Amino acid sequence: DAGVTQSPTHLIKTRGQQVTLRCSPKSGHDTVSWYQQALGQGPQFIFQYYEEEERQRGNFPDRFSGHQFPNYSSELNVNALLLGDSALYLCASKGHGADEQYFGPGTRLTVT
Amino acid sequence: SQKIEQNSEALNIQEGKTATLTCNYTNYSPAYLQWYRQDPGRGPVFLLLIRENEKEKRKERLKVTFDTTLKQSLFHITASQPADSATYLCALPFSGNTPLVFGKGTRLSVIA
């Protein structure tokens, strides 16, 4: 049983560019959340998707957007990249109504 | 404002001893609290969830307590091993079904 998977593992982008990160949830999970983790900090909640809709959103600008597909996989898009967007981006999945969530290995984004 | 504090950034202990990590929160009324382990460059791994009506929970060498009066959770690792060296994160929802908020984590080093 595969856990949460994310792609790519690492990514280097230039300021102003756009990036798309991908996530496949753990089998049986239908709710996906995205987090940003800066070095030395805890993960910060970006948004959560359930039934292909954004259900909750953290304190992130509109440059951060997402999508969930019918198979529950999800994408995180970031437009107009800033140097400060450099971080580890984590995807977490859970069953609807469950409290425990499971994280993927993350995508390390570097913006130069 | 709402805050989560983990008692120290780093904790060094000798192999075989019990490690105790602290998570304090203010201005929250969480229904539960979670603990995660994170290795460098990897996603957090779920360890334990304790609900507000539970005083203590155990899993193998791990024990978590939750004192809603003190607004504090203690995380214990007994008979610690060098393989337990990692960053440990506590996380809880503001209230109800809101997204998890994470502390900055405590980096535990178990010295042989």
Task: List chain B pLDDT tens, one digit each, 112 residues.
Answer: 668 999 778 999 999 999 999 999 988 888 899 999 999 989 999 999 999 999 899 999 999 999 999 999 999 999 999 999 999 999 998 766 678 899 999 999 999 9
**Pair B71, B52: CB distance under 8 Å:** no
| Model pLDDT, residue A96 | 83
Which B-chain residues 32-91 have CB contacts (< 8 A) with chain A? Answer: 32, 34, 36, 41-46, 49, 89, 91
- Domain spans in chain A, listed from the N-terminal domain onward: 5-111
Percent of chain A whose predicted confidence (pLDDT) is above 70: 99
Statement: A5-111 belongs to CATH 1.10.10.60: no
Rounded mean pLDDT, A63-75? 97
Please tell me which residue, A2 or A60, carries the higher pLDDT value: A60
Is A106–B43 a contact, with Cβ atoms under 8 angstroms apart? yes
Nearest to A45 among B45, B100, B103 (CB): B100
A 10 A CB-CB count for B110 gives 20
| Model pLDDT, residue B99 | 82
- How far apart, in whole angstroms, are the C-alpha atoms of residue B103 and residue A40? 11
**CA A96 to chain centroid:** 17
Q: Quote the strand ranges of chain A, DSSP E.
A: 5-7, 10-13, 19-24, 31-37, 44-50, 53-57, 64-68, 74-78, 87-94, 102-103, 107-111
Tens-place pLDDT, residues A7-42:
999 999 999 999 999 999 999 999 999 999 999 899
- Residue B63 pairs in a beta bridge with B58, B76
| Model pLDDT, residue B96 | 65
**Pair B74, B65: CB distance under 8 Å:** yes
Q: What angle do CA B45, B48, B37 make, to 5 degrees?
A: 30
| Model pLDDT, residue B105 | 95
| Model pLDDT, residue B95 | 67
Mean of pLDDT over chain A: 95
**Statement: residue A68 has pLDDT above 90:** yes
Domains in chain B, number: 1
| Model pLDDT, residue A33 | 95
**Statement: residue A111 has pLDDT above 90:** yes
| Model pLDDT, residue B73 | 95
CATH number of the domain that residue B12 is part of: 2.60.40.10
| Model pLDDT, residue B34 | 95
Is A108–B41 a contact, with Cβ atoms under 8 angstroms apart? yes
**Statement: residue A1 has pLDDT above 80:** no
Instruction: Using an 8 Å CB-CB cutoff, list chain B residues near A56.
Output: 98-99
